[in-house]
Amino acid sequence: MQILFVHPNFPAQFGPVLSRLAKRPDVECVFLSLNAASTKDGVRCIKFKPGGGATRSTHYCSRTFENAVWHAHAVYETCKSAKLKPDLIVGHSGFGTTAFLRDLYPCPIINYFEYYYHAYGSDMDFRPDMPPKEIDVLRARARNAMILLDLDACTAGYAPTEWQRSCLPEIWRHKVEVIHDGINTEFWQRRAVPRRIGKEVIPPDVRVVTYVARGFEAMRGFDIFMRVANRIAAEMRNVVFVVVGSDRICYGGDTAHIKTKTFREHVLRAEKPDQRRFRFVGSVPPAKLVEIFSLSDLHLYLTVPFVLSWSPLNALACECVVLGSDTPPVREVIRHQQNGLLGEFFDVDGLASQALRVLRDPAAYHVLGKTGRTTIEERYSFDKTFPKMWDLFNRVGNTNRTVTIQ
């Protein structure tokens, strides 16, 4: 069985499933992307290169679709040249990577549906302090154009959470199952590690608060985190804040609301924290992040209603006590005072009060870390999600035969 995976980046969300499928003698995995060639971890990788894309003269609302069409055509031509014969195609919807493959191959297509954009009651208008521009409201509809084409053309699809699936138009939800990418719980687990951040030794009586995001931005509540941290720092001297991430804005329109080069600079100017209490460690590899989670007494995960990050799940797997924003994607995972804590996104005082209770008596909250780990093992562990994923692949791509899960 040849499975063709398509995503601009290798391996992206398909990394976990590839780690299993690439070891199967009855499955050949081929991956088309912009950034990988030759063979990687048992996967045959082929690059595609778009011949064009959106320019300044392209209407702002249609630039995403323009780029997606160029991607789709490049994938189509690359597949023709490579003379592939896939039995199943799996692609990330929205990038346009599988849109034309229905006209090249007779095989089924499964799309991964990560997010469907809405201008209202969503990430765009959740923060009244950062309202979207009128043109961005209009663009939200246009950004779904390729996703709608994929919903129509795909044989089946999946989304990582119930909430993300619920964002799709109701008429198409019957085609989309809920299957999370999966968490490697053998890797993501609490470990006995030296109490140090870099070369700095953290004394036993010092509490560690962690925050993790790809970029320091409003969508992931970086400014709210800093306000909460300031409240904590004012009440407790024996707390350090370990902040993982980079000065980039992955989502949203933060730059329209600030006058500084980065959102972190904007927040630091406004909140004026005692920076001696903070350890900005940049983006770190997974092995280092496991060590940081293993030191954490409290992990803060704040997000507007948007795609659920991997970081809170990894933190839960490492038995961190997670205090998350009471927003739909987080509520799906965390049950307040059962496997973690929830607080209203904008309620800085309320979040800080909960955090202080944990930090003043960490032992009393260890049970939340244990139950958080159990949640990941039972619902999000790759050992649980892979059989569901492979069952979907098997049902859609192998209608005439059954392949045993290993």
Same domain, 328 and 247: yes
Q: Based on the fold, state whether residues 137 and 250 are members of the same structural domain.
A: no
CA angle 285, 264, 188 (to 5 degrees): 25
Model confidence at 133: pLDDT above 80: yes
Residues 8 and 100 in one domain: yes
CB-based burial of residue 327 (10 Å sphere; 0-12 exposed, 13-18 middle, 19+ buried)?
Answer: buried
Domain shared by 305 and 365, yes or no: yes
Q: What is the pLDDT of residues 189-226, one digit of tens each?
A: 999 999 999 999 999 999 999 999 999 999 999 999 99
Domain assignment of residue 124, yes or no: yes
Q: Is residue 80 part of a domain?
A: yes
User: Can you give the residue range of the structural domain that contains 229?
Assistant: 196-380
Helices (H), 204-363: 222-235, 263-271, 286-295, 311-317, 328-331, 348-360
Same-domain pairing of 159 and 15? yes
Averaged pLDDT for residues 80-107: 94
User: How distant, in Å, are the alpha carbons of 235, 271, 346, 352, 353 from that of 357?
Assistant: 11, 23, 19, 9, 6
CB atoms within 10 A of CB 130: 18
Would you say residue 172 has pLDDT above 60? yes
Are residues 212 and 345 both part of a single domain? yes
Give the distance, in angstroms, between the CA of residue 379 and the centroid of all CA atoms in the same chain: 17
- Rounded-to-integer distance, Cα 10 and Cα 32, Å: 8
Residue 237: Cβ within 10 Å count: 8
Residue 402: the pLDDT is 39
Query: Considering the domain boundaries, does residue 190 fall inside one?
Result: no
- Cα 264 from Cα 215, distance rounded (Å): 9
403 inside domain: no
Residue 187 lies in a domain: no
DSSP per-residue letters across 124-171: TTS-TTSPPPHHHHHHHHHTTHHHHHHHHH-SEEEESSHHHHHTS-GG
For 24-81, strand residue ranges (E) read: 28-33, 38-40, 43-47
Task: Tell me: do 36 and 168 sit in the same domain.
Answer: yes
Domain-embedded: residue 309: yes
H-run or E-run covering 78: helix 63-82
Same-domain status, 166 and 240: no
Burial label, 174 (beta-carbon count in 10 A; 0-12, 13-18, 19+)? exposed
Query: Which pLDDT does position 227 carry in this prediction?
Result: 98
Q: What is the pTM of this model?
A: 0.93
Rounded Cα distance between 93 and 102, Å, is 14
Cβ within 8 Å of residue 103, ≥6 positions away: 76
Q: Please give the pLDDT value at position 250.
A: 85
| Confidence class for position 404, pLDDT limits 50, 70, 90 | very low
Q: How many domains does the chain have?
A: 2
Q: Is the pLDDT of residue 155 over 50?
A: yes
Q: Is the pLDDT of residue 400 over 60?
A: no
**How much is the average pLDDT of 104-119?**
96
Is the same domain home to 87 and 217? no
Q: Which three-class secondary structure state does DSSP give residue 121? A: coil
Residue 319 lies in a domain: yes
Strands 196-197 and 200-201: antiparallel
3-state secondary structure of 359: helix
Q: How far apart are CA 143 and CA 382, in angstroms?
A: 31
**Residues 227 and 112 occupy one common structural domain:** no
Identity of residue 27: V
227 and 340 both lie in a single domain = yes
- Any idea what the CATH number is for the domain that residue 98 is in? 3.40.50.2000
Decide if 306 is inside a domain.
yes
Q: Is there a single domain that holds both residue 177 and residue 240?
A: no
